[in-house]
Structure 1
Amino acid sequence: MTSTPAALTTLGDNAARQLANATKTTAQLSTISPRWLTHLLQWVPVEAGIFRLNTVKDPESIKVTCTARQTENQLPRTFVNYDEKPREFFLNAVSTILDVHTRVSDLYSSPHDQIKEQLRLTIETIKENQESELINNPDYGLLSQVTDEQRIFPLTGAPTPDDLDELLTKVWKEPAFFLAHPLTIAAFGREATRRGTPPPTISLFGSQFITWRGIPLIPSDKVPVADGKSKILLIRVGDKRQGVVGLYQPGLPGEQSPGLSVRFMGINDQAISSYLISLYCSLAVLTPDAVAVLDDVEINKYHDYPDTYK
């Protein structure tokens, strides 16, 4: 009579994992975006948190003439007048206080420093809020500074090449980029492709962007979308071009990057250490024709052409 051999056993995976070191990532924050707008703006340092935008008053009143050769012309006399009540921009603060218990930072900072990680994630959130304010702030945001003359509406609802061409007539002096929600850019791509003019792409900052007339369409999820409609902005940037500039305060105590300050506030009697994080910024449109907006863009208009997108 033969005996049945005993079943072979080995160390199981679950038990073996208890002796293994897991490779740990830093905390992944899904709300982080590329924030292209802050990269593409020129940032101007201001003194004492105030930026005064001086403008010429009645520019059409400046008189000049072209004199013909060998003739005696009466030259006009002129002067350049300035606005006596220029607009002033004041830096706004995006701030918060970060609390970290000393027990957490003392015991659980390997392999990743808990204080550095808490600061990094909070600063990323503040910078996301900064980009939103640059676009939507009711006082200094891009959308609030668009004049009525620089505001147009789409011809058919969906964003078309014709609409972007119309925007270019509003910001024709060295336009830098279009700014739109990713859904709006996708809608424009569909419309352009449907018309047989698929937009070409270019590479910026190691990423690909579609373009129109050589001008990139820059995505930002901070451009508002409501009831299936959004906006497309066209922007000229830089003080030398009388465009749009970002404003920041240099030389802040605890400065981590331009306009961003981190200051240790101390440890309270509950062993909680606190850090004040502040980002001071604003935005100025130097001349009205530096920005224009295509308003009430329908981003789901492609449903009108179901056969095209099967």
Structure 2
Amino acid sequence: MVDEVERRTLSESAARQLANATKTRAQWGGITPRWLVNFLTWTPVEAGIFRRNEVREAGEGRPADVECSPPRDANPDLPETYVDYVDTPREYFLKAVTTVLDVQTRVSDLYSQPFDQVQEQLRLLIEKVKERQESELINNAEYGLLASAAPSQRIRTRKGPPTPDDLDELLTKVWKEPGFFLAHPRAIAAFGRECTRRGVPPPTVTLFGAPFLTWRGVPLVPSDKVKIDGSNGSETTSILLIRTGEKKQGVVGLFQPGVPGEVAPSLSVRFMGINRKAIASYLISLYCSLAVLTDDALAVLEGVEIGRYPEYAHDYA
């Protein structure tokens, strides 16, 4: 009787040692569409300064509005008037979002296949800088949207999720060609649930190749940079309504083209040298700001609760 020959095969784990793995670039889940940057109108500035000239409103000791006078003779006296300007208009200065990349030259020399280590690090840090830019455009205490809304353009919602009535109230504040609502994705979801509960589900529109909910034809643009306040045992946020463009006296983003080392508008990457420890350094800078040209270009709905709908169902029964 012949003994059976023991059969052995190369294991998969051993075979993988000789196989090439197909690699991806480093994936970072923190990258967002940054819709605010796309929806804003951007105005180039010179020397990093933007001056917002404005008309002085009519009042005591100031020129009157235009009047209509019926002719009393062949040579009627015409009312004399003029438009006065604010003596000290506000000036906006571009602010920098910066970071420094340090790379050990030994790492970049030896481990740059199939992906260049320096370029990959720069790519990811540029994404982080752009994410910070959107956050600053919304939350910066000096020029951000939330800080720039005039007191007369701020309203508060009643307790509960955002309702169609709340967004209609925002539209009364920015009724001259409103451009878009801006809200945290959870606030938009809460609004959608409330609309569906009332039997008026909001339609959608496709912009920049992506679908957006709309209200009264105005898109609701999501940004996770709109902050959520978790104090007092409930989570609240804000919803903004924005008119954009200099021609419409709206909100404009500010940037300066042609900065040294520019790789994108107002974004530069500059090599800073190699130190004695063989560390190569690169400076990444993004210069930007934002201006609200007239008060009625921006309104904010505050105190929006974004808990799950069942938690508030009893309030609207």
Sort the TM-score into its range (normalised by shorter chain).
over 0.9
The one of 64, 67, 81 equivalent to 2:66 is 64
Unaligned runs of 5+ in 1: none
Question: For residue 75 of structure 1, what is the aligned residue in structure 2?
Answer: 78
1:3 Cα deviation (Å)? 3.9
Match of 1:220 among 220, 223, 245: 223
CA shift digits 1:53-90 (9 cap, x unpaired): 11000157542234669986643211000000111111
Q: 1:176 is matched with which residue?
A: 179
Distance in 2, matches of 1:245 and 1:118, equals 31
Letter of the 2:132 partner, please give it. Answer: N
2:20 matches 1:21: yes
Query: Retained in 2: the 8 A contact 1:63–1:76?
Result: no
- Within the alignment, does 1:187 sit opposite 2:190 as a pair? yes
Tell me what 1:200 maps to.
203
CA distance in 1, matches of 2:37, 2:272: 29
Deviation track 1:208-258 (CA, whole Å, cap 9, x = no partner) reads 110000111000000000121000000000000000001112211100111
Matched positions, count: 306
1:32 maps to a residue whose letter is: I
Alpha-carbon distance in 2 for matches of 1:186, 1:304: 14
Worse overlay, 154-163 or 119-128:
154-163
- State the Cα RMSD in Å: 1.8
Q: What residue identity is the alignment partner of 1:63?
A: D
Percent identity for Structure 1 against Structure 2: 63
Q: Does 1:256 align with 2:263?
A: yes
Question: Partner letter of residue 38 of structure 1?
Answer: V
- Report deviation, 1:46: 1.0
Given that residues 160 and 312 in structure 2 are in contact (C-alpha distance below 8 angstroms), is that contact kept between their aligned partners in structure 1? no
Counterpart mapping for 1:1-310 below 5 A:
2-59=1-58, 61-66=63-68, 74-227=77-230, 228-300=235-307, 302=309, 303-305=311-313
Q: CA deviation at 1:304?
A: 2.3
Query: Following the alignment from structure 2 to structure 1, what is the Cα–Cα distance between the partners of residues 134 and 163?
Result: 26
For residue 81 of structure 1, give the secondary structure of its aligned residue in structure 2.
coil
- Matched residues in 1 for 2:291 and 2:158: separation? 30
Distance 1:95 1:217 in 2: 30
The separation in 2 between residues aligned to 1:305 and 1:296, in whole angstroms, is 18
What is the rounded CA distance, in whole Å, between the counterparts of 1:97 and 1:278 in structure 2?
9
Contact 2:246–2:252 (Cα < 8 Å) also in 1 = yes
Q: How far 1:9 sits from its partner (Å)?
A: 1.6
SS in 2 for 1:221: coil
Cα deviation code 1:162-197 (max 9, x no counterpart): 000000000000000000000000000000100000
Alpha-carbon separation, structure 2, partners of 1:215 and 1:59: 33
Q: Is the 8 A contact 1:138 1:144 kept in 2?
A: yes
Structure 1 range deviating more: 30-39 or 149-158:
149-158
Could you tell me the TM-score, scaled by structure 2's length? 0.92
Residue type at the aligned position of 1:124:
E
1:283 & 1:223 partners in 2: Cα distance?
Answer: 16
Contact 2:58–2:65 (Cα < 8 Å) also in 1: no
Q: Which 10-residue stretch deviates more, 251-260 or 60-69? A: 60-69
Task: Supply the distance in 1 between the matched residues of 2:312 and 2:166 (Cα, whole angstroms).
Answer: 18
Which whole-Å CA distance do the structure 2 matches of 1:232 and 1:138 have between them? 17
Contact 1:63 1:77 in 2 (8 A): no
Which structure 2 segments of 5+ residues have no match?
none
How far apart, in 2, do the equivalents of 1:67 and 1:40 lie?
A: 45
For the residue of structure 2 that corresponds to 1:275, the secondary structure is strand
